[in-house]
Structure formats: C-alpha cells, structure tokens
Structure 1
C-alpha cells in the first residue's frame, strides 16, 4: 500500500521543519511538504493532491479556516484535513467537522496524540483530541450533578460511567475488566447509550452533545 502524502500549512518555519523531520523519521508518510502561505498551499494542492493536510490556527484565523476547509473539500474531497486549533469552543469545533474536517487537535496536544490522530484517519475514522473530550465530559458531569443534564431518555449513573470509558477509547473487554462486569453487560449498556442518544457510534455521541449544546 502506497504511503500517504502530508502537507503542513503552518508557521513558524523552525517549528514546521522540526515537525516534518520527526514525521519523516516515523516513516508513516511518503512525503511531508511545508507551506507557509495560501499561495504556496494552493500551488502544492494543484501539483500533487495530498491524502492529509494539517492546517494550523497559527497561520489563519478561524473564519478563514472555515472558508479554506470548504474550498479544499469542494475541489479535493479525498484529502483528510486535520485542524490544530487554539482553544476553540465546542460550537466552533462542531462547525469545523460539519465543514468536513476529519481530525481536531488543540495547541496543547502532544506529538504522540498527533500520531494517534493520523492512525485513526488511516483507518477512515475521525479524531477528537483528549483536551476537547475532557472539556465535554466535565461539562456533562456538572450538568448531571446539578440535575440539569437532559436528553430524550436520561442516562443512568452506570451508563454515564461507561460513556466516559468509551470516550477514553476503551474496548468492551477493557471496560468489563475495569468495572468487573461481563462483556455482554457492557455491550447491553453500550447499545442503550446509543439508543438513548439516537446515534450510531461514539463519534455520534460527541456530535449529538455538540449539536444540542450540552457542552460549551
């Protein structure tokens, strides 16, 4: 299988050159190119469309990122876009996913988490960084504690516990071992959670929470 190509649209050059060197050493990508201007990015996309494109908030503001993502998805629909945000709120992140991005990391995300997001995208999955997941879960817990967290059918205490573990990317087997319950029981809880939220998977849980303003 041919290794994917990556374009990094970011600055300063010292940072991007260091990141590109690390990524080349990881041998995940066939090529890693750097662009530090919209003109350079446009030229690179035209010459050889990459499978992955990382766009940083260091180089364009959020409103420009929205438009850029729209334009790229329109002309290069197979390019998977990763956004490196700058403390964006949940509604902004939701809008970015609605525009077509596949991964969101924040400025405090580690290099290891960047690699983790790449692995998710290689499996045709979407990725949301741990920082945003924690922010979402904290909000949900606070609402639950105050009795103000509502959905079509309220989650039980156990379901909220399992939901958090699902968001931590634990498998049913891992959850069963952690909570000392059977895998069948975990699967039953999982199905009930998805049913109550009216979603198909854990990504759907995140999107449901965003769309219904459960998280700030």
Structure 2
C-alpha cells in the first residue's frame, strides 16, 4: 500500500517543523508538507491535495473552520482531516464530524495519541481523543443517576426532522431554508419540541436525542 502524504496547517514554525521531523522518523507518511497561511494551504489543495490534512484551531476561528472543512471535503472526498481543537464543546465537535472531519484531538493531546489517531485513520476509522471522549460521556450522563426523559406526547415526524437539524447545529433560518417553511413555523416547532421534552434549550434537545439514540 502506498504511504499517504500529510499537510500540516498550523503555526509556529518551530513546533510544526519539530512535529514534521518526529513524524518523518515513523515512516508512516511519504512526505510531510507545512502550511503556515491560508493562501499556501489553498495552493496545496488546488494543485496536489494530500491524503491527510491536519488543521489547528490556531489558524481559524470555529465558524471559519466549519466552512473550511465543508469546502475541502466537498472538493476532495478522499481527504482525511484531523482537527487540533481548543477544548471545543461536544456539540461543536459533533458538528465538525458532520462536516467531514475524521479525527478530533484537543491541544492537550500527547504525541502518542496523535499517532493512535493516524493509525485509526489508516484503517478507515474515526478517532476522538480521550479528553474529548470523557467530556462527551459527562455531557450525556447526568451528574449522579442517569434518567431518560419520558414524554407524554410523542414528537411528530416533522418535529423529529427539526430535532435532528437542531442537533446538527442549524439555526432557525437554516432549517426554514432547508425545509422550505417559514422561520415562524420553525420557531413554533422548536417551542413545541422544548415543551414536549421538558428542556430549556438546544443543549437539552441534543442530550435527549443522544440518550434516546435518535442521533449517534
């Protein structure tokens, strides 16, 4: 099997060159390329996209990161994106995976965990670092005893559809455009969903959806 190529989109140079040399010793990658600015990355992706791309939260704010990942994966289906995040929320991490990333590591992840994530990606698996995984477990489980919410009125088919889009991080405007309904209608559905689930906000909706296996 041919060895993949890796592009690292991060700074400072001292750190990225050090990481590049360490990875070079493993002989996992055919070559490792460093990009320190968006223009350099755009050129690499246009002319010769690598199989693996590591993007650091140093380089892009979260909203730009979503757009960038979506843009890259839409043009390069085979590219495996690794995000080095800055203690992102569980919902943000989920959204990044929905946009097409294959691995998420936090800034406090160690080198050996980075290697573990590479090995998982080589096997066409996804990878989430232990630190983020623990946050997900805490997010899903209640502080002492986990209790499932039992709702009196079941959600309608449309409400379930909107619930899933809320979990994907879509705004009311995004949902209205996607489903071809007015924002007012979306807001009415949102209120009914919160009422039926007995939760206060979108975080409560996501918790319910995860606990009841409506979303993965």
TM range (shorter): 0.5 to 0.7
CA offset at residue 45 of structure 1? Answer: 1.4
The 8 Å contact of residues 4 and 30 in structure 2, kept in 1 or not, is answered as yes
CA offset at residue 213 of structure 1? Answer: 5.7
Aligned to 2:95: 95
Ranges in structure 2 where 5+ consecutive residues have no aligned partner:
152-205, 212-216
1:212 aligns with 2:206: no
Q: TM-score, normalised by structure 2?
A: 0.68
Aligned to 2:132: 132
Aligned to 1:5: 5
How many angstroms apart in 2 are the aligned matches of 1:4 and 1:151?
48
Deviations 1:118-153 (A, max 9, x none): 00000000111100111122344434x33435589x
Deviations 1:17-49 (A, max 9, x none): 100110011110000000011110011112211
Q: What secondary structure is seen at the aligned counterpart in 2 of 1:146?
A: coil
**Residues 134 and 147 of structure 1: is their aligned pair in 2 closer, same or farther, counting only changes over 3 Å?**
closer
1:85 aligns with 2:88: no
Deviations 1:36-69 (A, max 9, x none): 1111001111221110000000111111110100
Q: What secondary structure is seen at the aligned counterpart in 1 of 2:34?
A: strand
Aligned to 1:112: 112
Q: Cα RMSD between the aligned structures?
A: 2.0
**Residues 19 and 211 of structure 1: is their aligned pair in 2 closer, same or farther, counting only changes over 3 Å?**
farther
**Residues 211 and 41 of structure 1: is their aligned pair in 2 closer, same or farther, counting only changes over 3 Å?**
farther
Aligned to 1:123: 123
Deviations 1:142-191 (A, max 9, x none): 34x33435589xxxxxxxxxxxxxxxxxxxxxxxxxxxxxxxxxxxxxxx
Asked which structure has the greater CA Rg, the reply is 2
CA offset at residue 211 of structure 1? Answer: 8.1
Ranges in structure 1 where 5+ consecutive residues have no aligned partner:
153-208
